[in-house]
Amino acid sequence: MADWLYIVVSVAIAAFVGGVTNHFAIKMLFHPRSPVMIGKWRVPFTPGLIPKRREDIAESLGNVVSDYLVTAEGLQDMVMRPEFRLQAEEKLGELLNRWVSSSLTVKEAALRIWSEEEWEAVKGRSASALTAILQYGFRHAWHKYGWEQKPLKSLVPGWSENNRQVWSEAAADAILDAVAEELLSSQGQRLLAKMAAGLADNAGGFLGTMAAIFMDEEKLVQKLTPTLVRALQGEEARAKVASAIRARMEIYGEKPVGEVLRSLAGSEPEAWIGQKLDELPLEAWIAKAEGVKLASLLEPWYSQAAAAVPSLANRMLRLIARVIPPAMKAIRLPQLVKEQVQKFPVERLEEVILSVSGKEFRAITWLGVLLGGMIGLIQSLLLLWVGR
């Protein structure tokens, strides 16, 4: 054989062997999928590297992801970045604008999130939660700030001489107007007639007998009613009633809150107030609020809400940042990644890797051809030189 032909054949064979070797080495990363058995003997290097070491790869990948890629510190840093905060403010602003311009009622908006049954359950839980919050808040403040021993005037906002004067006059007007209205009603007229008859009966003797004979109770009531109403609406009566109310307010203002409530309720004030809080019709109020439009609730407070958006976004992001570490521990990220990798089909994994690194793998194959060819060339030259 001619020397040049010997060199060409040697280079071709070595290049072919190098290329095929690298090609099969790459294929053996994924193939075969399962062990190849000849009787009881397992063919070496089966299954392929990735199918065989799938659990180890999954565990290592889970540790890498949790330790280096998706860490609590990294997520916290991302959440607290200024650009992330700006995006949160923008989203909250858009949400507020949609709600303000929305024609949806509270119930219609809620049903976009929950089903009818879920919304009913949410209302029940909300009413129970509000009752519990009110009970806890009241009892906490009652004991922490010692409301039971504090004078009433210290807990009533705006307690002053001028305000007590205004309150007593308003109370006197309301009481006297109610009494005058009651006297002018049919029930009030019957009450006056009964009082007139009782007055004649109680007079006794000759005077009582004469009054019973000659007095017309109906006419007497008709004459007395305007006089009584004018007296009730007069300045003197209003001043005296207002003065009496103001004096009582001064007395009760100095008394402890617990004593005032105990005298009014006839029971321990803490238990009485707790019972009244339990009796609040919160479910009925929530049901009534269902028909209110979101826009009507938000529109009066739009400017304040818009101004509060940056602060709200910052607080939300800080809360999220605080929750991230325990949430990461709760979801057990390494285990989660391991389980997901184990569930991932090897066929799909091969497609993903080849789609990303296909050019590199082909380059490795051709590198095997090049190296094989170079080795074949060197080997053939060396053998020709030695043979001579």
At 87-125, the pLDDT tens digits run 999 999 998 898 888 888 999 989 988 899 999 999 999
Residue with tokens 């001064």, as numbered in its chain:
250
What is the CB neighbour count within 10 angstroms for residue 365?
Answer: 19
The three-state DSSP-derived secondary structure of 64-131 is: HHHHHHCCHHHHHHHHCCHHHHHHHHHHHHHHHHHHHCCCCEHHHHHHCCCCHHHHHHHHHHHHHHHH
Least confident piece of the model among 49-53, 248-252, 369-373: 49-53
Long-range CB contacts for residues 239-247, cutoff 8 Å, separation at least 24: 241/172, 241/175, 241/176, 242/165, 242/168, 242/169, 242/171, 242/172, 243/168, 245/167, 245/168, 245/171, 245/172, 246/164, 246/165, 246/168
pTM summary value: 0.53
* Phi-psi map region of 158: left, alpha, beta (phi>0 left; psi -120 to 50 alpha): left
Strand partners, 38: 41
pLDDT-based confidence at residue 187 (cuts at 50, 70, 90): confident
106 close to 290: Cβ distance less than 8 angstroms: yes
Pairing of strands 41-42, 37-38: antiparallel
- In sequence order, what are the residues at sequence separation of 6 or more whose Cβ sits closer than 8 angstroms to the Cβ of residue 179? 232
Q: d(Cα 263, Cα 267) in Å, to the nearest integer?
A: 8
Q: How many helices (H) and strands (E) does the chain have?
A: 20, 2
Q: What is the pLDDT of residue 222?
A: 74
